[in-house]
Structure 1
Amino acid sequence: MEVKLIEIKEQERKVLENLFSYYIYDMTEYIKWSPNNEGKFSYDSSQFDVYWEREDHIPYFIYVDAELAGFALVRRYPSDLSTYDIEQFFVLRKFKGQGVGKEALAQVATVFTGKWQIRVLLENSGALYFWKSAVSRIVGDKFRVTKANDVDLLMFFIHFESNGY
């Protein structure tokens, strides 16, 4: 199984927007969003504009053996530009539990070395377990988990430093 990250071109943005609906669906377990009257999870797609307007925001598709498997949205964290941040990360259920997400994170952390953080909803214990496991694959036990506010939401923050691998 080959996992590849491919930077998303602006003309491929609609594919990201389509996948994002599945991400929102997965997150409803924790955030309790509801679909609109048309049965769609609506969101403001202008949130993605920055990924083609600023160099410190990089969108990736995750592929497994040439099949679209998810996305990773990487940025410099707005309140600390010295830190890389996974703004959003999604792997289709079909590919979960196969190491796809861990390999995707490892590839991103190899490209962007330095200080990193990953934010996790307090309610999402499965994601916290996954991210701690994925980060430990890169840095061993050299990471820390804190709780802090991300804007107005208390979240777990996983902090680590990547030197490539």
Structure 2
Amino acid sequence: MNVNLVEIQSKSRLTLENLFPYYIYDMSEFTGWGPTKDGHYDTYNPANLDIYWSSEEHVPYFILADNELAGFVLIRKYPVDRTVYDIDQYFILRKFKKQGIGKEALKQVLHLYPGKWQIRVLKENTGAFKFWLSAVSEIVGQKYVSEEDIDVDLLMNFIRFEVAPQTA
């Protein structure tokens, strides 16, 4: 399957906003978030995405699989340490899971942004943690650190590593 990253332009922002409730729904297994009385998962504020079109330290991408929308990845410089890239949000639609799309998209992200990286995973999300450890080890081998740390006020699993620029 052909996997591509496409930077999300502001004109396509609504598509990202439309995907977000599916992401929230997937995360509800670990966060306990429930739908509204109307049955919507809208526990996020779309204004929180504004920074992805107003700051050079935040970049949004759609993940395409054979030119079909398969998910998104939101990349940022970590607010606590701006020398570190951070996967702010990462989402693959269920239809595309377990096909290598998430791993391939990560490889492309890391190729575009060499340097220090971290990936934060909710402690309860053991499936995602296993995925990230596997994906990162395929790229950097055992040259990563996995540890618990605090993100704002939440104890999470952090995976930290560095990616060298690719030479031609």
What's the TM-score bracket when you normalise by the shorter of the two chains?
over 0.9
Residue 9 of structure 1: CA displacement?
0.4
**Gapped regions of structure 1 (runs ≥ 5):** none
Residue 164 of structure 1: CA displacement?
4.1
- Establish whether residue 2 from structure 1 lines up as the match of residue 2 from structure 2: yes
Cα deviation digits, residues 23-67 of structure 1 (max 9, x gap): 000001000101001110112111100000000100000000000
Counterpart for residue 16 of structure 1: 16
Counterpart for residue 145 of structure 1: 146
Residue 103 of structure 1: CA displacement?
0.5
Q: Which residue identity is paired with 2:61? A: Y
Aligned equivalents of 1:15, 1:135: Cα separation in 2: 28
Aligned equivalents of 1:54, 1:104: Cα separation in 2: 22
Matches within 5 A, 1:98-117: 98-117=99-118
Counterpart for residue 27 of structure 1: 27
Residue 121 of structure 1: CA displacement?
0.3
TM-score by length of 2: 0.97
Equivalenced residues, count: 165
Aligned equivalents of 1:5, 1:96: Cα separation in 2: 16
Aligned equivalents of 1:69, 1:142: Cα separation in 2: 29
Q: Which residue identity is paired with 1:37? A: K
Residue 163 of structure 1: CA displacement?
1.3
- Shift >3 Å, 4+ stretches: none
Aligned equivalents of 2:11, 2:150: Cα separation in 1: 34
Structure 1 residues 72 and 98: alpha-carbon distance in aligned structure 2, compared to 1, 3 A threshold: same
- Establish whether residue 82 from structure 1 lines up as the match of residue 77 from structure 2: no
Give the 3-state SS of the residue equivalent to 2:124 in structure 1: coil
Aligned equivalents of 1:97, 1:134: Cα separation in 2: 12
- Give the CA RMSD over aligned residues: 0.7
Aligned equivalents of 2:26, 2:8: Cα separation in 1: 22
Aligned equivalents of 1:3, 1:22: Cα separation in 2: 20
